[in-house]
Structure 1
Amino acid sequence: MSTQAVTHLPPTPPSEPAKMTGTVLPPSSAPLQPAHKHIWLITGPAGCGKTSVAEFLRQSLSVPYLEGDTFHTPENVKKMGEGTPLTDADRWDWLILLREEALRTLASSPDLNGVVLTCSALKRKYRDVFRVATYHNPGLRVHFVFLNVSEAILMDRVRARQNHYMKDYMVRSQFQSLEAPQQDETDVLSVEASGASVEVQKLALAVVNEAMEKDSKPV
């Protein structure tokens, strides 16, 4: 995309000929492009709608989507299938792998400005693993789209799932581990996720678009 400003003529008054003023559209009207590359992490406990939101953002933003659960080791999947909560040690290599996969995906094309990734990221130190990605990448921004919903609603949703390793009693474990984002975590975009899936998708896209607009520059 060209970065050269586009010149437009102002409207011609009825009794006055057009003047070549070289007026440039203000930034609010000019096309915008992101100033940085972005990793959009869709976070929250099991059943909050991470996959649904991630798929919607992938389609809306035309960016790749990485499903975090598919990167778990067979040992982790086996533990969760048996109802055994994962420990920090179980999660650590998985979190690092997700971060590196997101970076590799972004690096795969110079025209790619974002990637969507699902990960519960229940604890602040888990979120910090992804924040490390920005240390040596000044052109990168990491965002956590936190799907906020009550434990009772999540229990009902997970109970309705068929053939999924995440069971209702594991929701309680996740809420016990959950460290809700704090005010100083300014890269967290909170979304009310207790409503219908379509509503949550739209709310998530709205906060992502707002963040993108703040980070954009006219072209």
Structure 2
Amino acid sequence: MLAKYETAALTTPSTLHTPLRTTKPFRHIFIITGPAGCGKSSVAHYLSRTLDLPYIEGDDFHPQSNIDKMASGVPLTDDDRWSWLETLRSAAVTTLESGAPGCVVTCSALKRVYRDVIRQATRAADDVVVRFVYLRGNKELLLHRVKQRKDHYMKDDMVASQFAVLEEPWGEDDVISVDVSGTLEQVQRTAGEEVNRVIEGLA
């Protein structure tokens, strides 16, 4: 299964990236991404409120088997993630098809090939735009933040495993990178400003 997506990512990347278009209107899918502890849910909730767009929490779409593995400190494999990514992508497209002008989705999307699975949402219609908001932070900072969490299935030792497989999205032109070393309010504000620039540039 991995080979199928790797082949798509390596041989036809241009078909999976969202091209800049001149037609209107656009329906935006904003994927808030990054390792555990980067603040995906907090930033996504903020963007959902300020943009008045539906919010989709990616963790809600994990099957129980994935949740059990993560709660036990066992990293997910590629095979664990494919159906989750496809289900999450379908949920975003369905939200647009229901009449929403866009949506905000949380998804770690640690590897390029995972992001390529999500990018296939643009095939649903020619007015669909996918943009990733990558919340960037170093391992020590994110480990500290995860340790502060209470009653969450993602354990602090999972941060190291996520960084081990992380492929940062440098050079991917549909990615907005936001540094998370500041306060939550600063990060939210910066993410909002960058997302608005995308909307204004494409609208």
Which bracket does the TM-score occupy, shorter chain normalised? 0.7 to 0.9
Measure the CA separation in 2 of the matches of 1:207 and 1:136: 25
- Segment of structure 1 superposing worse, 160-169 or 45-54: 160-169
Letter in 2 for 1:193: V
Letter in 2 for 1:121: A
- Aligned twin of 1:91: 81
Measure the CA separation in 1 of the matches of 2:121 and 2:91: 11
The structure 1 segments of at least 4 consecutive aligned residues displaced by more than 2 Å after TM superposition are none
Instruction: Report the aligned-residue RMSD.
Output: 1.2
Tell me the CA shift for residue 35 of structure 1.
2.6
Structure whose alpha-carbon radius of gyration is higher: 1
Measure the CA separation in 1 of the matches of 2:175 and 2:35: 15
- Aligned twin of 1:209: 196
2:131 pairs, out of 143, 150, 153, with 143
Q: What TM-score, normalized to structure 1?
A: 0.81
Measure the CA separation in 1 of the matches of 2:182 and 2:41: 15
- Aligned twin of 2:111: 123
Q: How do 1:8-87 residues align onto structure 2 when only pairs under 5 Å count?
A: 35-87=25-77
Letter in 1 for 2:37: G
Unaligned runs of 5+ in 2: 1-23
**Which has more helix, going by share of residues?**
2
Letter in 2 for 1:195: G
Tell me the CA shift for residue 68 of structure 1.
0.3
Structure 2 residue 107 is matched with structure 1 residue 107: no
Aligned length, in residue pairs:
181
C-alpha distance after superposition, 1:29-81 (max 9, x if no partner): xxxxx631010000000000000000000110001000000110010000001
Whether contact under 8 Å (2:58, 2:106) holds in the other structure is: yes
Letter in 1 for 2:156: D
Instruction: Determine helix, strand or coil for the equivalent of 2:152.
Output: coil
Letter in 2 for 1:197: L
Instruction: Determine helix, strand or coil for the equivalent of 1:141.
Output: strand
Instruction: Determine helix, strand or coil for the equivalent of 2:56.
Output: strand
Tell me the CA shift for residue 85 of structure 1.
0.2
Letter in 2 for 1:125: V
- Aligned twin of 1:196: 183
Q: What TM-score, normalized to structure 2?
A: 0.87
Instruction: Determine helix, strand or coil for the equivalent of 2:103.
Output: strand
Measure the CA separation in 1 of the matches of 2:191 and 2:179: 9
Measure the CA separation in 1 of the matches of 2:142 and 2:199: 29
2:169 pairs, out of 181, 184, 187, with 181
Unaligned runs of 5+ in 1: 1-33
Instruction: Determine helix, strand or coil for the equivalent of 1:135.
Output: helix
Whether contact under 8 Å (2:93, 2:124) holds in the other structure is: no
Letter in 1 for 2:201: K
Measure the CA separation in 2 of the matches of 1:70 and 1:48: 18
Percent identity over the alignment?
A: 51
- Aligned twin of 1:164: 152
Tell me the CA shift for residue 136 of structure 1.
4.1
Measure the CA separation in 1 of the matches of 2:32 and 2:124: 23
Whether contact under 8 Å (2:66, 2:76) holds in the other structure is: yes
Tell me the CA shift for residue 182 of structure 1.
2.1
Whether contact under 8 Å (2:32, 2:105) holds in the other structure is: yes
Measure the CA separation in 1 of the matches of 2:152 and 2:66: 14
Tell me the CA shift for residue 106 of structure 1.
0.8
